[in-house]
A and B are shown apart, each in its own frame.
Chain A
Amino acid sequence: MSSRRSRSRQSSSSRITDEQINDLVSKLQALLPEAGIRSNERVSAARVLQDTCSYIRNLHREVDDLSERLSELLATTDASSAQAAIIRSLLM
């Protein structure tokens, strides 16, 4: 578990309480994809951070994959229909 309780140095400008940290961690937990399944369970902060890390990595990978797909799609479609499709997704 984290050694938060034995933390001796607190920031002098703002008293960062454990409660504040817990709030932020639970807020992060709510954003993760499995938030609906485990909403009432008290998950450890380390677990939340671990899940957050893998979620961010997944999102990065998805951006890469989608960029590749977009690149392929734009190569195969002609300019006018690509523009039309792009404008259509703008209006949706």
Chain B
Amino acid sequence: PSLPTLCNHLSPPSHPSLSPSPPLPPESKPMSAFHFLRALSQINKSTPKSSLLLRSRRIRQAAYVSMACRAGRSRLWSRALLRRLQRRSRLRYLISQRTRAGIAPKRLKVVRPRSGEPSRAEALRRLVPGGPGMDYCSLLDETAHYIQCLSSQVQLMQKVVGSISCETPQP
């Protein structure tokens, strides 16, 4: 009811869902960018020009939401990420604006070192959403997919930045 519009993006997109196999199937670029771009224009309209920090935080949120939506619910990391973002956006309405929850969700889950794994697996668990709940094999698999999605999200954002900066005459 009173959830911000960003939560509308949490419903799965209408384009064909991605298969869980690691190489990302060639989805149409316009569709994959659509969620993010729509969120961008909504943020552009609704946020006042003065609050740069709020807008960049919302943009960052939209980036992760649209990335997780594109991955669909078949991936552990995307489900965990969507859950986390849902929680945070709900909290933002309940708690006053003055409590600046940091940009990266810093709730430190206790990641116990598991036996029979390289020591770095712990650090990786902290970085990948849903990491603490995964076994080592799933962690490696999910990480691979997460990296692919992250880097394509970065490319998309770079493209958007590029085309907007071409619009505006730079001083």
Which residues on A are within 8 Å of B, measured CB to CB?
A: 2-4, 6-9, 11, 16, 20-21, 24-25, 27-28, 31, 45-46, 49-50, 52-53, 55-57, 59-60, 62-64, 66-77, 79, 81-92
Contacts and interface: CB of A to CB of B under 8 A. Distances in A.
Nearest to A59: B150
Given A2-B118, A85-B163, A91 B30 contact: yes
Contacts of A59: 147, 150-151, 154
A66 B120 CA distance: 28
Interface in B124-171: 124, 127-128, 135-137, 140-141, 143-144, 146-148, 150-151, 153-154, 157-168
Interface centre among A3, A62, A90 (most CB of B within 10 A): A90
B157 A63 contact: yes
A65 to B, nearest CB: 9
Of B118, B127, B137, B153, the most chain A CB neighbours within 10 A belong to B118
A41 B99 CA distance: 49
B44 interface: yes
Does more than half of chain A's interface fall in helix, strand or loop, or is it mixed?
helix
Consensus secondary structure, chain B interface:
helix
Contacts of A11: 135
Contact of B104 (A2, A24, A60, A85): A60
Given A11-B135, A52-B147, A55-B147, A67 B56 contact: yes
Contacts of A85: 160, 163-164, 166-167
B101 to A, nearest CB: 15
Interface stretch (B1-9, B11-19, B33-41, B90-98): B33-41
Contacts of B121: 49
Contact of B158 (A25, A49, A66): A66
Contacts of B22: 27
A56 B52 contact: no
